[in-house]
Amino acid sequence: MTEKPPTKGKRFFRIAKMTAKVAGNYASSKAKSVFKNKQDSASLAFATHLLNGELIAKELGQLKGAAMKVGQMASLAGDYLPPEMIEKLKTLQNDSPPMDYSVVEAQIESELGALPERLFDSFDEVPFKAASIGQVHRATLDGQELIVKIQYPGVDESCDSDLRQMRRIFKLAGFAYEKRIVDEMFEEFGRMLHEELDYTNEAQNIRNFREQHANDSFVIIPRVIGERSSGRILTMSYEEGLTAEEVRDTLSPAERNRIGENIFKLFGREFFRDRRIHADPHPGNFAFRADGSILLYDFGCVKEIPEKFIRSYRDLIVEGLAMRADHIDTIMFDLNIRKKGSAPIEKEFYQAFIDAVVPELTGEHLYDYSTSNLHQKMKSIFPQARRKMFSFQPNPEIALVDRLLLGVHNLFRIIGPEFAWRELIEEQIEYVK
């Protein structure tokens, strides 16, 4: 077990100290590069990004909380930070060390008025899962198997302070966008994190999604046990399933293909039909069954998508499926990804992305995700894209969709299904009238 969480003051000091080290490393690198040629300067910058990425990942993994959550978000958003730093931040996607059980007991007693042994028939002291802002324990009550999600003490109180420090680190690391865009991105991060820290809000999200998917027979969502829940404790029914790795290693190709199709349908319906998405695509937030069922966990990060955005995104897909780039720059302005007043971008730029991705996904054959190299193809185009980056700007909606798509793609790469991608996407965009 880890030590007890640091106090708010100690936490602020540790993050501020980390930020100062990151700033010092960049200042030193910049000073040394004055005396080096272009190639040596690039190598020095690469090494500094790696060093700082490792420093940030190590410290945030120990501190947990909002800062760690922002680090996780950043690790899925390759446009915003240097790729060598992103590689180090990806370690934050793994389960983090759990908090001491005495802290768990104190938090439950503070929130629910009694110790776990008084509230449950049984309560496992060893956590089932530990993450950035809380951890989960197995329990039973009145013959029901449950999971109890406990928020780490002090995480909500330090959220805004963490965000301010992480914003400074983003700027130091080369977040290449104007101040207004950085402000908008961190405003969205803050909104999402404050919602995720409110377990009462998450409980309502679970109820909403159970209703939203009531007619989707392949979607399984836990039930909230309201009398054992609060703003920092969330108790739910335990729904058992296989991890993505277990699906890959134990199920037949036909079963894996059915699961793959249902993952696609799940997020297609949430996005195009319901305009409300489960927006945390970490593999640990999903489980699966051989009959094709998908179990959804962790509803702290939920996003309502504006109808105008959905329509523009649908138009973008239609253009891509038609293998044409004539109207994509206009759609990019509609999506608020292109900077107002910037020069038009030639359609050949967009056509390169279409030619690299669409034929492979939408050919007559079934697409085999177990051999997917889409990520490598996209990486090969990124150098060209970087030359245009000042004509673009982040949009919180797009950042969230990108995060979702990357998470779904990673699930597919683990499970390795084969299915007709084009038929499924055409079926989903039909929900947009």
Query: What whole-number distance in Å separates Cα of residue 78 and Cα of residue 76?
Result: 6
Residue among 216, 229, 204 nearest 295 (CA): 216
Residue among 184, 186, 148 nearest 167 (CA): 186
Query: Which amino acid, one-letter code, is at 198?
Result: D
Do 222 and 147 touch, CB atoms closer than 8 A? yes
pLDDT of amino acid 260: 93
Place of tokens 């390169």: 352
Assign 358 to helix, strand or coil: helix
pLDDT of amino acid 1: 46
Percent of the chain that is helix, strand, coil (3-state, to 5): 60, 10, 30
Query: Which amino acid, one-letter code, is at 433?
Result: K
Do 389 and 176 touch, CB atoms closer than 8 A? yes
Sign of CA dihedral 92, 98, 100, 102: positive
Q: How many CB atoms sit inside 10 A of residue 125's CB?
A: 11
Q: Which CATH number is 100-151+198-239 given?
A: 3.30.200
Query: What whole-number distance in Å separates Cα of residue 211 and Cα of residue 226?
Result: 17
Global confidence as pTM: 0.81
Contacts of 187 (CB under 8 A, 6+ apart): none
pLDDT of amino acid 255: 97
Mean pLDDT by 10-residue block, N- to C-terminus, for the chain (433 residues)?
Answer: 62 82 84 79 81 80 70 59 69 70 95 97 93 90 97 84 77 60 74 89 96 97 97 96 96 95 95 92 89 94 91 95 93 91 88 85 71 67 67 77 81 88 91 91
Phi-psi region of 130 (alpha: psi -120 to 50; beta: other; left: phi over 0): beta
pLDDT of amino acid 79: 52
Beta bridge partners of residue 219, listed in sequence order: 294
Q: Pairing between strand 134-141 and 122-123?
A: antiparallel
Query: Which amino acid, one-letter code, is at 105?
Result: E
Beta bridge partners of residue 138, listed in sequence order: 147
Do 225 and 237 touch, CB atoms closer than 8 A? yes
Residue among 129, 89, 184 nearest 400 (CA): 184
Taking the CA atoms of residue 268, residue 272, residue 278 and residue 282 in that order, the dihedral angle to the nearest 10 degrees is 40
Taking the CA atoms of residue 247, residue 249, residue 255 and residue 260 in that order, the dihedral angle to the nearest 10 degrees is 50
Rounded to whole angstroms, the maximal C-alpha distance in the chain is 72
In the structure encoding, which two tokens stand for residue 327, read together? 């109207």
Do 81 and 172 touch, CB atoms closer than 8 A? no
Beta bridge partners of residue 236, listed in sequence order: 147, 224
Helix H or strand E encompassing 149: strand 144-151
What does residue 343 show for φ and ψ, rounded to 5 degrees? -65, 150
Helix H or strand E encompassing 137: strand 134-141
Query: What whole-number distance in Å separates Cα of residue 206 and Cα of residue 19?
Result: 36
Give CATH 3.30.200 domain extents, the chain: 100-151+198-239
Do 394 and 80 touch, CB atoms closer than 8 A? yes
Query: What whole-number distance in Å separates Cα of residue 182 and Cα of residue 176?
Result: 9
pLDDT of amino acid 42: 75
- Mutual orientation of helices 307-321 and 421-429 as an angle, nearest 10°? 150
Do 137 and 161 touch, CB atoms closer than 8 A? no
Residue 29's alpha-carbon distances to 57, 59, 165, in angstroms, are 20, 21, 21
